[in-house]
Structure 1
């Protein structure tokens, strides 16, 4: 049992660190993501004619009104009509294989053949704690699009495929998405490193575009992977720059998990390669920790004695919370400087994080008033999971809006090749302030050195600079 527990925690950590060097939603287990994807008793999306009523998703906290226009579109797996509703690759306790779709042809103002897209990601099990809101964010976008006439009048069908963090299953599901469902693209690929590497070569071979996702270092020089984020190195440096520009002090310290290379990568970028110092911080302390530690008293005392004012913890959110609790018991209350994936939305109410600074690789998930953000907030309010959105939801929404931009520009000829063509035409595209400026060429995305930032103030998430970017 102890070995099983360690493996579960490590899978969760791999999921989080994929986002740490890329972009934590609420914890959603396998059954919850299935419920979020299934319509329950309603017909499959492919069985519902335009304008006919479907059923509202049986998801925790779903806010869609079943008496209104039923545009949640979250029917069971049907692809282009093949496969029974509710088909799953495993039992409800299995880590992967669950599939669901969102959109279908339920939007009253849509007509024609659905535009089929999908996502393959670690949406259940331990990894689901960090990534599940990504699946929900993509479904919310699909439902919102269909409620507003679709794309060029055509409905969108979103197929959610849960690999549970299993690399072999991830490759199998990606092949199914491409070859059986004939999707035009994968969107918001919320993956861990190991699962993405299992199908990365396959999508290049098939010239199958993957639009947005966790944006880890494996997205570099990948012509079919269109990330919506800066590179991992720039995301890490941007976090240090946020601390130097907005922090209450410059003496910087960090704790880095010892279980994955991803944590080590962040440490190396900030300390060994001088990122923190270049940004204007004074690195005075660092240490390796384990996510299996129950207490971090020694590390907190050492950091306090070193004079740390800005403190970073690179680990899963549970470990981050244990660190802050240990430090508070030692009357050590530094200002925390974090990458978004190490934080849960609920952390805003934790006194330890008051005045905390957080970098974001896409738009802040709270505190904005721009039209692009209001669209996201309205869609999440109606079609989200009933909880406050977090970084993974923002990552997925930005990915979906990027796909929407390309598909809308493609006109009536929406295909894999036309999506790629339209994406490569984009120049300094920010999607209304949802992303850093995006430019794509035949080798992938250019790397724009910019970041967003958020601050916890008064127990709430804020975006003091709105959707303005910190660039260098």
Structure 2
């Protein structure tokens, strides 16, 4: 006879082997908490999309390194829509059906998010969308219970810019805007702020969202009116092209942009001499100086988990949003569902992320109305 087991021996050996494997392996491994994000990683605002993904990634990676949320890791499924609303719609539907996220997060673009609202994607899925990168009133009035904003509206931003410029004696305003829901929202905000001061825009000019560098028509509409200040409701490439062409035409109007513009992109595309003095509204804490706890944490975790990625207002904003989402996931408990996460977000009140507060409520989906004004100074530095 050999050294092998008999039939009964083999059964005992298999049973013992199975028992040992059971003891050696964890009895239960928690599934990941899936979050869905659709953002423009290619196309005309790819830089912004990349930054908006990177800031959140740094915080989620930090949380996962510490054991996750209630013992479960966060897994973010990211899809690239190229800033095209039809792609946003298709990819979101696909993601909800295939990946089963408990929440959506960090989408970019007014028209992109409106495509979801118009097609009832969020309400039909019963899912929350936190921190869309847009300040459009069309997504805020009337309140959409599924969308949670952490940034001030474009109306808040343009009102702040108009009020600021009015205090220093400016009376002749013009508005340059992207010809879509995003741009028209900012235009309406500027016109409303001017009306409260008894003023009207002396000129307005727009450009096609698919051709951001073709701003000649906007120049022709605005420059002859000789405005003292121009509010730009536009993306990076359009803003850069507009500034260059406006200065080439001889206009010395003061230029102010809403927060979606990245000053480093203006510097790269238009040059320091041309963009010096341009004002930019901001809706988040200043990310370049560690003056508050959240900025210190942001800078440290970006260096650790997203080395080489850009420190910017966009990455700062998505970092703050990630902190809010993680807090909601904690409150949702060990078995988060779409319904539980939505309810947990609604219950977030005056949540301090580190010197900056976000708060929602049953009748409130606007977490912050903070607006600050910055200016591009000498040596390409952004100044408060």
Using the size of structure 2 for normalisation, the TM-score is 0.76
Structure 2 gap ranges (5+): 1-28
Q: Please give the alpha-carbon distance, in whole angstroms, between the structure 1 residues aligned to 2:139 and 2:86.
A: 19
Give yes or no for contact 2:203–2:222 (8 Å, CA) kept in 1.
no
Which residue of the other structure, out of 180, 185, 190, is the alignment partner of 1:265? 185
CA deviations on 1:306-364 (whole Å, 9 max, x unpaired) are: 5x1x3322333223223322343455444322102134424356233323322123333
Q: Secondary structure at the match of 1:342?
A: coil
Mean CA deviation greater in 424-433 or 184-193:
424-433
Give yes or no for contact 2:177–2:206 (8 Å, CA) kept in 1.
yes
Mean CA deviation greater in 381-390 or 158-167:
381-390
Which residue of the other structure, out of 276, 288, 294, is the alignment partner of 2:205? 288
2:243 corresponds in structure 1 to 324
Q: Structure 1 residue 127: deviation in Å?
A: 4.1
Give yes or no for contact 1:252–1:281 (8 Å, CA) kept in 2.
no
Which residue of the other structure, out of 254, 265, 282, is the alignment partner of 1:335? 254
Name the structure with the higher helix share: 2
Q: Please give the alpha-carbon distance, in whole angstroms, between the structure 2 residues aligned to 1:160 and 1:191.
A: 15
1:438 corresponds in structure 2 to 359
2:20 corresponds in structure 1 to none
Q: Secondary structure at the match of 1:151?
A: coil
Q: Please give the alpha-carbon distance, in whole angstroms, between the structure 2 residues aligned to 1:281 and 1:334.
A: 21
Give yes or no for contact 1:186–1:211 (8 Å, CA) kept in 2.
yes
How has the CA–CA distance of structure 1 residues 423 and 130 changed in structure 2, closer, same or farther, with 3 Å as cutoff? same
Asked if residue 453 in structure 1 is aligned to residue 373 in structure 2, the reply is yes
Q: Which has the greater radius of gyration?
A: 2
2:53 corresponds in structure 1 to 135
Give yes or no for contact 1:364–1:453 (8 Å, CA) kept in 2.
no
Q: Structure 1 residue 258: deviation in Å?
A: 6.3
Q: Please give the alpha-carbon distance, in whole angstroms, between the structure 1 residues aligned to 2:222 and 2:154.
A: 27
Which residue of the other structure, out of 224, 233, 250, is the alignment partner of 2:155? 233
Q: Secondary structure at the match of 2:202?
A: strand
How has the CA–CA distance of structure 1 residues 345 and 416 changed in structure 2, closer, same or farther, with 3 Å as cutoff? same
Give yes or no for contact 2:105–2:129 (8 Å, CA) kept in 1.
yes
Give yes or no for contact 2:215–2:242 (8 Å, CA) kept in 1.
no
Q: Structure 1 residue 168: deviation in Å?
A: 4.5
Give yes or no for contact 2:272–2:380 (8 Å, CA) kept in 1.
no
Q: Please give the alpha-carbon distance, in whole angstroms, between the structure 2 residues aligned to 1:132 and 1:455.
A: 24
1:151 corresponds in structure 2 to 69
Give yes or no for contact 1:295–1:322 (8 Å, CA) kept in 2.
no
Q: Structure 1 residue 406: deviation in Å?
A: 1.0
Q: Please give the alpha-carbon distance, in whole angstroms, between the structure 1 residues aligned to 2:220 and 2:111.
A: 32
Q: Please give the alpha-carbon distance, in whole angstroms, between the structure 2 residues aligned to 1:398 and 1:203.
A: 22
Using the size of structure 1 for normalisation, the TM-score is 0.63
Mean CA deviation greater in 193-202 or 142-151:
193-202
Q: Secondary structure at the match of 1:251?
A: coil
Q: Structure 1 residue 430: deviation in Å?
A: 4.4
How has the CA–CA distance of structure 1 residues 165 and 448 changed in structure 2, closer, same or farther, with 3 Å as cutoff? closer
2:18 corresponds in structure 1 to none
1:247-396 alignment, distance < 5 Å: 249-257=169-177, 259-271=179-191, 273=192, 275-276=193-194, 278=196, 285-290=202-207, 291=212, 292-294=214-216, 302=224, 305-306=226-227, 308=228, 310-329=229-248, 332-347=251-266, 350-384=272-306, 386-396=308-318
How has the CA–CA distance of structure 1 residues 337 and 368 changed in structure 2, closer, same or farther, with 3 Å as cutoff? farther
CA deviations on 1:187-220 (whole Å, 9 max, x unpaired) are: 1122441454236612212211111112433432
Structure 1 gap ranges (5+): 1-110, 465-472
CA deviations on 1:376-408 (whole Å, 9 max, x unpaired) are: 122223333725333432332222111012112
How many pairs align? 344
1:82-231 alignment, distance < 5 Å: 112-194=30-112, 196-198=114-116, 201-215=120-134, 216-220=136-140, 221-231=143-153
CA deviations on 1:136-195 (whole Å, 9 max, x unpaired) are: 223222223223332234321111012234445433432333333222111112244145
